[in-house]
Amino acid sequence: MAKNQQIPSSIEIELVDAELFEENESKLLNGMLGITFAVSVAFLILASSIGEVLSNNDSQMDSPLLPGDSVELTFGEPIYMPRHEECIDMNNGQDADYAGYGVGYEPSLSIDSMGNMQITAHKDLRWGGEGNPFAPVIGGNLDSWYACEDGEMTTWDYWASWFWVTTDNGSTWDHADQFEPTPGNLVNSAIGSLTGGGSECLGDEGDIAVDDNDIVYYLDTTLEDNWWHRFTEGGESYEMGSVCQRMNTMAADDRPWVAAQGDGIIHYLGNSGASPPECTGDTGRYWYYHSENGGNTFSQCYAMPGGWSTISSENNGSYVYVAQEDADTGSGSVQIRISDDYGRGTGPGPSDGSWDPPKELGPRNGNCPEGYPVVNNNEAGTVVVVWADCPNGDIGAWDMLMAISYNHGETWEDSWSIAPDWGESGGITMYPFVSISENNMVSISWYGLQYGDDGYTEGDEWYLLVGAIYEPHSGDEFKWSIADPTPLHIVTSYEEANSDVHALHDFFETVHGPDGSWMGIAYQQNIGEHPFEENEEQRYIKFVRAEVISDIPVPTLTSEDAIQGPIWIATDV
């Protein structure tokens, strides 16, 4: 926030000396009256001068934002996620300048009430050795995968997905507790998953959530099931003991989502792509699982039919939200499912428990490549859903839509396009992600590529774009800024020829700091060619922090808010 200009501590004013004649009492009285008059004049002059300074300051200072105003952000220096030092190998095919960084993609990001953050990312499964154990099916040389093994080409330091933490608000990052290097081959890890914990739990990709007690929950899928991890102290204390804990939920989960609230209430939304064999009587692509004991046990098999989906929940309130494509179709609509009672009462069979029927939010005029409608919320009842739309195909001009509610999703404003005005050529607005501060700053981040006159062509550059508005309403326009000046990816001749727009993969995530004065973004950058996989790149996870410069008004506490707990507010920066 712009600081008020300082009013001078003293204002020099020339006063005409009053001549006091003390010849008698009358003259003394006249003299005192003269002094009083002179001082009065001085105060009038002083008040006039201060009023002028205050008037000038009022015209020069930044006023607090009004609903619909853009929020000014300034971006720090991006940070690459580290590898374990003992696993750095200058001969593993990485670009030498990046050998100290972990290769990964599709980062998930979470934050606790102290500003501690956690990032997990997909490992590069085709880079755990020059061969692979599935060569008879997918091709290549038959061999095991390896992690941190001398003489073998590897890009990860342990068998679980990457898991990094920061306890200084994003200034530095390290590996979480018990996620130390676990060298060996795939057979070693399979044994370790039965006899060990932490980084020995064989995992592929995961998601993270934090409950109202600042317990960090980390779900890492094995594709066949999921491993379950818990941390305290922002990720610096592992709370799961020495043996990997299976969730014992669904099979064949391709993209897990997890949300947490209250005291250990966990929501797990799994993407099976088909009805799991253990779930009879219901059908669907996405399945919801519910826990109220920190993930020790879960309810089973509640179907949420629809296409690509995401989930979010209040931290200390009772609302849970699932945003979905209405179906696995090329066009249709985006819908939202809402529970006002922690998602309780759900299970197999006809009962919907506390989930209301889906509400339609807006259209889908095309089927973007693996683009999820993303939902997020704050504790004040603000809920936002954003999604990319592809009415002109994968390499035509994309659109980006948003819907917002200020009363826990009971009513919604008309959805509207928030895509930039890129002229007739247009561009790509891929994987928009939304975060909301407690003072109703709504930020949208996305991977963007603007077309030239020739459309999608070799040499086009992808960038990370960010915009924010205080209390947006239907029709408001975002002002977009490039958050990282380095291109995230440059289109190759192969991608142009094959209309391939998937180089940056399926998603990334953002958070707002607890007091609303900053935001963090975890995202992907491609650097150099893959050492042995054709037409692929080396992928790296980065983090950038953005400071909020604008003066965002402090929200008013209601009696209900006071009962639930404090609302974090933005402070001067």
Q: With CA atoms as reference, report the closest residue to 337 among 318, 370, 361.
A: 361
Q: Is 497 helix (H, G, I), strand (E, B) or coil?
A: helix
Residue 556's pLDDT is what?
57
Q: Check: CB of residue 74 under 8 Å from CB of residue 547.
A: yes
> Does 40 fall in a domain?
yes
pLDDT band at 189 (very low <50, low <70, confident <90, very high): confident
Q: How far apart are CA 56 and CA 353, in angstroms?
A: 60
User: Over 340-400, what HEC string results?
Assistant: CCCCCCCCCCCCCCCECCCEEEEEECCCCCCCCCEEEECCCCCEEEEEEECCCCCCCCCEE
> Does 49 fall in a domain?
yes
573, pLDDT greater than 90: no
> Does 29 fall in a domain?
yes
Pick from 108-117, 144-153, 555-564: least confident:
555-564
> Does 562 fall in a domain?
no
Report the DSSP beta bridge partners of residue 355.
339
> Does 382 fall in a domain?
no
> Does 349 fall in a domain?
no
Residue by residue, DSSP assigns 3-21 as: PPPPPPS------PPPP--
Angle at Cα 464 formed by Cα 458 and Cα 469, nearest 5°? 140
Say how many domains are in the chain: 1
Residue 401's pLDDT is what?
98
The H helix count followed by the E strand count for the chain is 5, 33
Residues 6+ apart with CB under 8 A from 556: none
> Does 302 fall in a domain?
no
Share of the chain above pLDDT 70, in %: 84
Q: 355-397 pLDDT, tens per residue?
A: 999 999 999 999 998 889 999 999 999 999 999 999 999 999 9
Q: 154-178 pLDDT, tens per residue?
A: 888 999 999 999 999 999 999 999 9
Give the mean pLDDT of 267-279: 80
Q: How far apart are CA 230 and CA 34, in angstroms?
A: 79
Residues 6+ apart with CB under 8 A from 419: 398, 399, 400, 429
Q: How far apart are CA 519 and CA 436, in angstroms?
A: 10
Q: Tokens representing 170?
A: 């994003």
> Does 31 fall in a domain?
yes
Q: With CA atoms as reference, report the closest residue to 290 among 240, 346, 227.
A: 346
Report the DSSP beta bridge partners of residue 549.
none
Q: Is 43 helix (H, G, I), strand (E, B) or coil?
A: helix
In terms of residue numbers, what domain contains 52? Answer: 1-61
